[in-house]
Amino acid sequence: MKRFARPNIAEMQGYSPGEQLQDQNTVKLNTNENPHPPSPAVEAALAAVDTAKLRTYPQPTADHLRDAVAEHHALARDNVVMTHGGDEALRLAITTFIAQDQAFGMAEPSYSLYPVLAQIHDAPVIRVPLDDQWAMPASTAETLNSAGAALTCIVNPHAPSGKLISTQQLSVLARQLDGLLLIDEAYADFVEPKMNYNSSQLIKEHDNVLILRTFSKGYSLAGLRLGYLLGPAALIDPILRKTRDSYNIDYLSQQLGAAALLDQDYAASTWADVRTQRKRLMMRLQELGFTAPDSQANFLLATMPSSTPMSARELYLYLKEHQILVRFFDTPRLQNKLRISIGTAQQNDRLIDALVAVLPK
């Protein structure tokens, strides 16, 4: 039989998303969703939708959302392009900026979708191994530049560890890099406010920085598929006018996204609760013998206690049997670890109870 797929597509493996069980009794701590429902303002916006409006094409560039996002970050409309989830933002950055014979750069380990998107684009992937503390080596820029990385994606706070690097460190990296630096801030809403993390200034200081944000986690809207890129107008413009699908943001996302963004009080209250629960869960895990370093994201990366003969994979399967989903990554460096999304107090308690039952006293 004739093969039609491109060679790079035929050879690659697809991305494996975390399990999306719809069972109501399952405690789902595997794909980093916000444990709280969307803002009541989203429900009101949905109720106010005139279905007849779905008949026509949406405003092509979602300009009222771009304006709301720009105001939120003290930037201009030209610094914003809305995307169909953060995943589309990553794909568009790769499509727009990585030419033939140029490479894609990333830290290892990191978001496992990155290399998949690079493979679809047929771009070589340059992986910079993080050290034992999940920090980037001093030689990072040198490695990426010499390999011809046109675009490097750094997720901050880091996934799967939750470690935050400072805007100062990002600024140094941006200056050193020959190519673009995309800072994937999928989890930035969960950073402790006292850390004063705010990277949007970077796009005024550098011509090669893009920042990715998503409504999936911070605004409890993973089901909606809405995200955006911030950047200098010269970087946003070709995405907005050329590489983006012409009507990439549907009418409902434009309405509901704006409602969610404007209700900052509600969103901030969910972030505060996640931080409280994160601290509490971290302490309980440590009491049970796990190593679970400080995280600025809405998940913890827990290393198995030395007191148990169980492997991380075995514990993952045990929890799954007990209707608790966490994420196990079958890679050498993450072999003895589980990534656990922060749930509600009740969900976290169910996890802890299940762990207490199976781990040695």
* Separation between Cα atoms, residue 104 and residue 109, nearest integer Å: 15
Q: Is 212 exposed, middle or buried (0-12, 13-18, 19+ CB in 10 A)?
A: buried
From the list 17-25, 66-74, 194-202, 285-293, the region that binds its own copies by CB under 8 A is: 17-25
* Separation between Cα atoms, residue 130 and residue 164, nearest integer Å: 13
327 binds its own copies (CB under 8 A): no
Q: Which of 4, 196, 265, 357 binds its own copies (CB under 8 A)?
A: 4
* Separation between Cα atoms, residue 350 and residue 354, nearest integer Å: 6
* Separation between Cα atoms, residue 155 and residue 63, nearest integer Å: 27
Pick between residue 130 and residue 170 the one whose CB is nearest to its own copies. Answer: 170
Pick between residue 253 and residue 296 the one whose CB is nearest to its own copies. Answer: 253
Peptide bond into 160 cis (omega under 30): yes
Least distance (Å) from its own copies to the CB of residue 136?
22
Least distance (Å) from its own copies to the CB of residue 225?
4
Closest CA to 258 of 79, 48, 100, 94: 48
Site for its own copies in 98-117 (CB under 8 A): 98-100, 113, 116
Site for its own copies in 40-99 (CB under 8 A): 42-43, 46-47, 49, 51-60, 84-85, 87-88, 91, 95-99
Pick between residue 218 and residue 305 the one whose CB is nearest to its own copies. Answer: 218
Pick between residue 6 and residue 204 the one whose CB is nearest to its own copies. Answer: 6
Closest CA to 299 of 267, 334, 270, 275: 275
Task: Give residue 4's Cα distance to chain centre.
Answer: 33
Pick between residue 130 and residue 202 the one whose CB is nearest to its own copies. Answer: 202
Q: How many residues bind its own copies (CB under 8 A)?
A: 81
Binding-site string for its own copies from residue 220 to residue 259, where x marks contact by CB under 8 A and - marks none: xxxxxx--------xx--x--xxx-xxxx-xxxx--x---
Q: Is 30 exposed, middle or buried (0-12, 13-18, 19+ CB in 10 A)?
A: buried
Site for its own copies in 148-207 (CB under 8 A): 150, 179-180, 207
CA distances from 274 to 44, 216, 258 (A): 24, 15, 23
SS3 78: helix
Q: Give, as one character, the DSSP assignment of residue 175.
A: H
CA distances from 135 to 4, 9, 146, 221 (A): 42, 32, 20, 30
Least distance (Å) from its own copies to the CB of residue 7?
6
* Separation between Cα atoms, residue 322 and residue 312, nearest integer Å: 15
Q: Are 103 and 150 in contact (CB under 8 A)?
A: yes
Q: Give me the amino acid identity at 333.
A: R
Least distance (Å) from its own copies to the CB of residue 68?
17
Pick between residue 56 and residue 196 the one whose CB is nearest to its own copies. Answer: 56
From the list 27-35, 320-328, 331-339, 348-356, the region that binds its own copies by CB under 8 A is: 27-35
Least distance (Å) from its own copies to the CB of residue 16?
9
Least distance (Å) from its own copies to the CB of residue 28?
7
Least distance (Å) from its own copies to the CB of residue 58?
5
Site for its own copies in 115-134 (CB under 8 A): 116, 120, 122
Least distance (Å) from its own copies to the CB of residue 39?
9
Pick between residue 43 and residue 294 the one whose CB is nearest to its own copies. Answer: 43
Pick between residue 83 and residue 199 the one whose CB is nearest to its own copies. Answer: 83
User: Looking up tokens 């409006």, which residue turns up?
Assistant: 53
Q: Are 42 and 260 in contact (CB under 8 A)?
A: yes
Pick between residue 120 and residue 310 the one whose CB is nearest to its own copies. Answer: 120
Contacts of 5 (CB under 8 A, 6+ apart): none
Least distance (Å) from its own copies to the CB of residue 333?
23
